[in-house]
Structure 1
Amino acid sequence: MSHWWYLAAPALPLLLPQALWVKRTALRLPEAAAPWHGLVPAPDGAVAAPLRLLLVGESTVAGVGVEQQGEALSGQLACQLAQQLGRAVQWQAAGRNGALAADCIKDLLPQVVDRQWDLALIVLGVNDTTHLTSRPRWRRHLQQLVTGLQACSAQVMLTEVPPLGHFRALPQPLRGWFGLRAGLMNRDVQRVAAGQGAGYLSLDMPFEVAYLARDGYHPSAEGYRLWAAGIVRQLALSEPAALGAG
């Protein structure tokens, strides 16, 4: 979640000073420490035939906001899925702080397509929103990501673009402007998911200070836990048979 200063020309006179202020004062947190993969046993301790879980995306996949990947979205989701399914979960995070969809296609996708996955989640949108990636290009890149992951994953799902209008650390009107654009980008996510036969996951978590990291942008460990719980609830409704298959 960086580079807030990439703004459209018509908005520059009003928003550029705020964007430059955010760039200058924002707290930069590191990515979570390695390892970025792991195996969570089933509740009974079994590790055979694990669900193979992959997350690809931006800073939240990189675990920015927490110290260890086990506290971030990937690790927390793996733990909760293991409890929900009664099955071991083998997980991997392929993320980068500041990543655009184009970066995922170029740099991250090649790292994971040589393995088979049961469930792959694409977690993107903040950086493409703030960098003003054009919506046709955004859709095209999402389509390429989905297609690439469908070749190595039984189920591909896209997550909702985070609602930047709720990021209280951003000043107004910059926050509202990015919030409107994030909503448009999220419509494209839903459109691509429907057109590509992929799933769509809403961001089911509260946007309150108590669930944010010190930078005011990324989730804290508790925020990631709630985000993962929202995903598990949606998966239980939408893909119970596929996720329960051994």
Structure 2
Amino acid sequence: MSRWCGLLWWLTALPSLPLALPLAILTRRSALRLAPAAGPRRGVAGADLPGEPLRLLLIGESTVVGVGASCLQHALVGRLAQALAARHGRPVEWRACGETGITVTQAGERLLPQVLDERIDLALLAFGVNDTAALTSTRRWQSSLVLMADELTARGVQVAFCGVPPLQYFSALPWLLRRLLGARAGLLDACLRQVAERSGVDYYPLRLRFSAAYLALDGFHPSSLGYRVWAQSLTAELSLPPTPVPALAAL
């Protein structure tokens, strides 16, 4: 099904490519480029709370490293860790492992090896914008997601996918690119949901209003407010791994 949907997208997009390609080059050259959020890429939220900490990993593209926010505490990973700690009354040890411009295939080669030896309870995978822009094939997109999810679940990690952001609402993009890339992002998101269902992995759509207040100055990434709203929606929906039961002291 995804293959035929991909072919349909190409048939729809082909007549627009002579205009869309130079427009994409111009947009890329003129785009405002924001740096990743400041601060260490590891931390603990709710350090004063009792209990075994939840070990949280976010791995993915620029949203994982907080592009659009001033610091990681105000980005998705920091806001999510704080909200989860408050909601569940336990510490959350978090790590952000991401890279601006990276695709899911590249992340499997460059980012995943950095975290495989760590103790992780829950891993959120956030990809899609760069694969949309790179016109990654649906087959490659799905196979790379499966490989990454399988590597983590084989090590006892609970894996969840964040939905692909809807590029049709990115104000930095001209109308034609919003239309073409928005449709492409929707296709990859549908493929992502298929992977999640087949792999028994949770999928969480991106519930965020893409108005000016929720977008950073570049019109492409979430603002600090956008990250906070995104984190709140994830906190309300996330299914967490069971809390470890403390071992009974020997009699």
What TM-score results when the alignment is normalised by the length of structure 2? Answer: 0.89
Q: How many residues align?
A: 234
- Alignment counterpart, residue 203 of structure 1, candidates 206, 216, 219: 206
| Distance (whole Å) between structure 2 residues aligned to residue 57 and residue 87 of structure 1 | 25
Give the aligned partner of residue 7 of structure 2. none
Match for 1:112: what amino acid? Answer: V
The reply on whether 1:170 has 2:173 as its aligned counterpart is: yes
Give the aligned partner of residue 58 of structure 2. 55
The reply on whether 1:30 has 2:31 as its aligned counterpart is: no
**1:223 Cα shift?**
0.5
| Distance (whole Å) between structure 1 residues aligned to residue 210 and residue 147 of structure 2 | 30
1:85, 1:244 within 8 Å by CA — same for their partners in 2? no
Match for 1:89: what amino acid? Answer: V
Give the aligned partner of residue 93 of structure 2. 90
| Distance (whole Å) between structure 2 residues aligned to residue 48 and residue 183 of structure 1 | 40
1:66, 1:72 within 8 Å by CA — same for their partners in 2? yes
SS at match of 1:156: strand
Match for 1:233: what amino acid? Answer: A
Q: Deviations over 1:61-104 (max 9, x none)?
A: 01111121111111110000001101100000000000100111
Give the aligned partner of residue 128 of structure 1. 131
Q: Deviations over 1:173-195 (max 9, x none)?
A: 11011000000000110011111
**1:153 Cα shift?**
4.3
- Alignment counterpart, residue 26 of structure 2, candidates 21, 24, 39: 21
| Distance (whole Å) between structure 2 residues aligned to residue 15 and residue 233 of structure 1 | 39
Q: Deviations over 1:41-63 (max 9, x none)?
A: 26xx2254100000000000011
2:52, 2:243 within 8 Å by CA — same for their partners in 1? no
Q: How does 1:71-220 map to 2 (within 5 A)?
A: 71-220=74-223
2:63, 2:76 within 8 Å by CA — same for their partners in 1? yes
SS at match of 2:121: strand
| Distance (whole Å) between structure 1 residues aligned to residue 93 and residue 161 of structure 2 | 19
The reply on whether 1:12 has 2:17 as its aligned counterpart is: yes
1:32, 1:65 within 8 Å by CA — same for their partners in 2? yes
| Distance (whole Å) between structure 1 residues aligned to residue 155 and residue 120 of structure 2 | 6
Match for 1:38: what amino acid? Answer: G
Moved segments of 4+, more than 4 Å: 7-10, 243-246
Q: How does 1:221-236 map to 2 (within 5 A)?
A: 221-235=224-238
1:85, 1:243 within 8 Å by CA — same for their partners in 2? no
| Distance (whole Å) between structure 2 residues aligned to residue 98 and residue 151 of structure 1 | 27
Decide whether aligned partners of structure 1 residues 47 and 10 sit closer, same or farther in structure 2, where only a CA change above 3 A counts.
Answer: farther
Match for 2:227: what amino acid? Answer: Y
Decide whether aligned partners of structure 1 residues 153 and 29 sit closer, same or farther in structure 2, where only a CA change above 3 A counts.
Answer: farther
1:119, 1:153 within 8 Å by CA — same for their partners in 2? no
Give the aligned partner of residue 3 of structure 1. none
Identity %: 46
SS at match of 1:120: strand
**1:149 Cα shift?**
1.5
| Distance (whole Å) between structure 2 residues aligned to residue 167 and residue 175 of structure 1 | 7
Decide whether aligned partners of structure 1 residues 210 and 18 sit closer, same or farther in structure 2, where only a CA change above 3 A counts.
Answer: same
**1:10 Cα shift?**
5.1
1:128, 1:138 within 8 Å by CA — same for their partners in 2? yes
Decide whether aligned partners of structure 1 residues 198 and 91 sit closer, same or farther in structure 2, where only a CA change above 3 A counts.
Answer: same
**1:118 Cα shift?**
1.1
| Distance (whole Å) between structure 2 residues aligned to residue 153 and residue 227 of structure 1 | 26
